[in-house]
Amino acid sequence: MELNLKMMGFRISTQRRQLRITQEELAEKVGVSAKHISAIETGRTKPNIQLLYDISTALNVTIDYFTLGIVKKSNLEKLDDYLKECTEEDLNIIKIFAKALVESHRNNK
């Protein structure tokens, strides 16, 4: 399976724009030039694995998203999905449990 550089670059560009980060800002965060970011986003340059990791960290996604288009949800996003399905009564019970859990952890420190 060969890496589709144009698609990977498109995903990087899309995620960067969604976060309202310029190429210059991303370049500064990952320690390369804006010209290099542009070349990656247009599929002209293949980033090394360290740079790809740095870009994915800066843009809050996994490398899987850029290389394969796979989006993995964080635990908070998964929790948010579950909470959206709850009734107000369910949410009140969850709040009570969450508060008790946090207080328990504070007391055990």
Tell me which DSSP letter residue 3 carries: -
State pTM to two decimals: 0.64
- Tell me the CA distances in angstroms from 21 to 34, 43, 47, 55, one per residue in order: 12, 19, 19, 12
User: pLDDT digit of tens for each residue in the chain (109 aa)?
Assistant: 577 999 999 999 999 999 999 999 999 999 999 999 999 999 999 999 999 999 999 998 888 888 887 766 666 777 888 888 999 999 999 999 999 988 888 887 6
Residues 60, 83: Cα–Cα separation, whole Å = 22
